[in-house]
């Protein structure tokens, strides 16, 4: 996967994350294959304003590493992963993927973006839950960066 320079249009990445959250939500509820979900979103969403490559990387990464990501999240949540609200679960999985597999993205950006998408699409206080879980997860996965 190509690495993007620091000067990349960060708004395009934010839009890619928002679309990825919606696609991941649909994937979780439908049980469809991720390729079908990606194709559906390519046709239905306004993808030209998002970073399509990043969108696909997020979704394919979450699909490929779902069990590993859930295992990383489990110690920091108060219920089974499957019992977490679907929007919050999608946000947590996306952020866990970025924290674990995308070291090019600073942990603060990952957490802030997860909070923003949860505020936009989730329940009233869902973003507080996501923030608390991801702060603990970042301490595990990005300990050196977080201390620095």
At residue 48 the predicted structure's pLDDT band, cuts being 50, 70 and 90, is: low
Give Cα separations from 12 to 39, 70, 74, 76 (angstroms).
Answer: 19, 27, 30, 30
- What mean pLDDT comes out for the span 77-88? 95
Q: Which residue has the tokens 């879980």?
A: 133
Distance CA 14, CA 50 (A): 8
At residue 45 the predicted structure's pLDDT band, cuts being 50, 70 and 90, is: low
Comparison of pLDDT for 88 and 42, the residue scoring more: 88
Q: Taking the domains of the chain in order of start, what are their residue ranges?
A: 10-147
* CATH dotted code for 10-147: 1.10.940.10
On the question of pLDDT at 8 being above 90, the answer is no
On the question of pLDDT at 7 being above 70, the answer is no
pLDDT, one tens digit per residue, over 84-130 is: 999 999 999 999 999 999 999 999 999 999 999 999 999 899 999 99
| Residue of 25, 9, 5 lying closest to 120 (CA atoms) | 25
């Amino acid at each position: 996967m190509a690495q993007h320079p620091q000067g990349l249009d960060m708004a395009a990445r934010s839009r890619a994350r928002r679309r990825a959250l919606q696609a991941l939500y649909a994937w979780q509820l439908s049980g469809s294959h991720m390729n079908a979900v990606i194709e559906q979103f390519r046709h239905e969403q306004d993808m030209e304003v998002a970073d399509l490559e990043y969108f696909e990387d997020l979704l394919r990464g979450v699909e490929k590493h779902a069990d590993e990501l859930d295992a990383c999240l489990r110690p920091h949540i108060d219920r089974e992963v499957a019992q977490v609200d679907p929007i919050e679960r999608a946000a947590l999985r996306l952020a866990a993927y970025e924290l674990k597999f995308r070291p090019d993205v600073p942990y603060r950006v990952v957490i802030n973006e997860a909070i923003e998408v949860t505020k936009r699409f989730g329940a009233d206080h869902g973003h507080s839950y996501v923030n608390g879980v991801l702060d603990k997860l970042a301490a595990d996965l990005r300990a050196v960066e977080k201390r620095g």
